[in-house]
Amino acid sequence: MKDIVLKSREHGGDPKAAEARFGVPKDGWLDLSTGINPVPYPVEPCPAELLHRLPLKQDLDDLLAAARRAYNVPDRACIVASPGTQALIQQVPTLFEAGNVNILSPTYGEHAPAWTAAGHVVTEVSELDASSPYTVVVHPNNPDGRTQNIEAVLKAGEQGTVIVDEAFADVTPDLSITPRAGSQGLIVLRSFGKFYGLAGVRLGFAICNEVTAAKLNEKLGPWAVSGPALWAGTKALSDADWALKTRQRLKSDTARLHKILRKAGLDIIGGTDLFTLCESSKASQIYEKLGQAGILVRPFEYQSTWLRFGLAGDELAWVRLEEALQ
């Protein structure tokens, strides 16, 4: 283990920032820098009344019931809704006394700063390690898609507190630890926007025991989630048929992406059915070439040979990517 060196918190999904480097592409940006489903759930415009009144308790209850079914949350566990998972990432560390926290790394860059800001001492580890009172695991991991043994995670939760970020678990629900939630030492975070392609809705969930849920709800305060977000989330999470068909499509699209990337000479080293992590000694040149073509992918400051690719959303986008990589 070694003390983590906090790096700049860069994220994908900002083509406007890329324009400062590459200019405005003639065909517009093809943004493949995120792991957001490019074919979103077809949510209709929300009823106008939801913009005029405060969210009702029934609105929240309907959302939580839909989330419980969609995520297969056991009866013993509680669900807390928040305005995006990021809000939970920042609030959860404040629930506990300052101590040592192990973060399985490299991973999503917002966890370490949040725990540090709350007064904890962050250590980066390469393997699941429950030697500290707090452990953070992203499962499947971002950016490499690495998954953990569920029994090992649960055992770590018996020794301390384990926070499991399942932002990308919707594509592989059989690997999710959510159905085992509810114990004292386990907090599971779920992201709504990635799988459903509705990141702008800003909706996330913490699945935990009753005591932790009460503390989180107090931190978030009343009306934490907007009426339109409650409405859109309930609609999407209740549509099991759409979710099943989407998983099948994402799997097929990922196979297509892999074929394109391998043809371009990139080595695939990880990912999920929402993004693929590649390695190449020419990663920086490929990033530049794609940027000049108006295609944005995700580079990594801490690993210059890596690039992460999201999925294309339509046939024109697939052709554009393949031609740019030739």
Quick check: is 48 in a domain? no
Question: Which of residues 182, 206, 238 is at a domain's end?
Answer: 238
Whole-angstrom Cα distance, residue 152 to residue 122?
Answer: 21
The kind and range of the H/E element at 122 are strand 121-125
Q: Tell me: cis bond preceding 140? Omega within 30 of 0 counts.
A: yes
pLDDT digits (tens, 9 = 90+) for 233-286: 999 999 999 999 999 999 999 999 999 999 999 999 999 999 999 999 999 999
In a shared domain, residues 120 and 78 = yes
Contact 199, 168 (CB under 8 A): no
Q: Look up residue 179 and give its DSSP letter.
A: G
- In terms of residue numbers, what domain contains 251? 2-39+241-325
**Bridge partners, 275 (sequence order):** 272, 310
What token pair was written down for 21?
Answer: 């480097």
In a shared domain, residues 180 and 309 = no
pLDDT digits (tens, 9 = 90+) for 152-207: 999 999 999 999 999 999 999 999 999 999 998 999 999 999 999 999 999 999 99
In a shared domain, residues 146 and 285 = no
